[in-house]
Structure 1
């Protein structure tokens, strides 16, 4: 396993971690500068932040800092109430692929979606098998275009608590089954984004990480599971402040061949989003060296 204790060259920051500072939204350009000032070599920005900052302006700023993208958040949300909605989702994912390519991202992360309308409180249907079928078809269609432009797609399984509204793919095993069905030769075009917050509980985790191997492990996200958890969406913990066995999981991931960034992704409305970006990023660096 790599030694992270001496530097933070393999630290990446998902910009959700510091998109709010002291309760206020922060421009992506400022986040990039804050990371560059600390020698952080990679980020993973969100599409709405890039849209606000401008795609070309963001690409230029990243190049000026020599900064890489460990991933791009996010594509997905394939299920829809009708055929028009399914087509709109595919169109949006095509745009996301193009944006990721412009930014030279390592992969486009797919949060696949679930029951359409559930995020707004009124699902259009409750057939989870239908949603999973639409996810499969959506990934298959998007993969065809992603191959053409050379942008790997990374399916991110989400914790079962989000099966109804955000992602009906909830285990690494489910995600890898899709990968094997659509990319049987492990070409690198389709893989997974492994977020410890969503999968740490899975009794099959070690087995499925080994199954994924280097070809499927496209992104690795870290944070921690707080006790008590005050909000299931936006109360993630800083690494070392919870119960996830972070070093053990990274050992499994690296034994499987992963050699990329450990990307910190923390949604924290009650804690880290109330602090300065400097405080949060400095803590990320310290915990990357000691806890990850």
Structure 2
């Protein structure tokens, strides 16, 4: 998503040229290019799929909508397995229309995980709950902290459900460093993503993630926290940013790799 202006073949070529060995994929571009075609393209290039994003949106009350969500998440798990990644990132869903009950929404997430975790495990895929910044709690994700994410994940085996740590969403939380250590002790630190926090936020706030080094987050400190917690997996950079999307994708990818080396 950092360079969504690149086609899948362009992305694969640019990553290969830069020495980037893995790509975190989103489902829509994969579906557009074709699941099997994407898997073959990346295999042929020697590129690993680090994670697939996203599953989730489990909080609906309507029974039909809940069935649809479970079915879509089973498809996402199957897609992750076909792409060769062991991690599906979950954005859990916001409050359903007419409801203000955060606790009930989180319980519906747990109910969905109880259905999906064994299915994913059979296919070699882990589910990674990603807490999102509280400004997204109403419409996108009622899981706002690593504490909440781990409380949900720990109802299930660690090789089935863990967490995704994204600096953009957790940098403000004084409890997050201790929760990263907790995740590491429990073997639940399944994914790690970097983005910076810049202000003012754009209208709609979704596409406000800053290029590494442009904002308020001490990115290296967060990388050192996950290192100390025993995380040895890939580090992803996930930037939703209209200005970056309007630039040449190869230029942005090169800049991002340079910024990673400088700031993380």
Count of residue correspondences: 262
For residues 147-158 of structure 1, what are the structure 2 equivalents within 5 Å? 147-158=121-132
SS at match of 2:140: coil
**RMSD over equivalenced CA pairs, Å:** 1.3
Match of 2:13 among 6, 27, 33: 33
Match of 2:164 among 172, 185, 193: 193
Superposition deviation, residue 229 in structure 1: 2.6
SS at match of 1:244: coil
Hey, what does 1:244 align to over in structure 2? 217
Contact 1:81 1:124 in 2 (8 A): no
- Answer yes or no: is 1:57 the counterpart of 2:37: yes
Deviation sequence 1:10-34 (CA, Å, 0-9, x none): xxxxxx10113xxxxx422322222
Superposition deviation, residue 205 in structure 1: 1.0
For residues 173-192 of structure 1, what are the structure 2 equivalents within 5 Å? 173-183=147-157, 186=158, 188-192=159-163
Hey, what does 1:134 align to over in structure 2? 108
Deviation sequence 1:172-215 (CA, Å, 0-9, x none): 011111111222xx3x2211110000000001011101100061
SS at match of 2:197: coil
TM score, norm. by length of structure 1: 0.87
For residues 1-292 of structure 1, what are the structure 2 equivalents within 5 Å? 16-20=1-5, 26-116=6-96, 123-183=97-157, 186=158, 188-213=159-184, 215-231=187-203, 232-269=205-242, 271-292=243-264
In structure 1, the gaps of 5 or more residues are 1-15, 21-25, 117-122
Superposition deviation, residue 80 in structure 1: 1.4
Hey, what does 1:23 align to over in structure 2? none
Hey, what does 1:3 align to over in structure 2? none
In structure 2, the gaps of 5 or more residues are none
Bigger relative contact order, structure 1 or 2, given CA contacts below 8 A and separation 6+?
Answer: 1
Whole-Å separation in 1 of the counterparts to 2:232 and 2:214: 25
Whole-Å separation in 2 of the counterparts to 1:171 and 1:81: 23
Whole-Å separation in 2 of the counterparts to 1:100 and 1:154: 12
Superposition deviation, residue 129 in structure 1: 2.1
Whole-Å separation in 2 of the counterparts to 1:106 and 1:277: 27
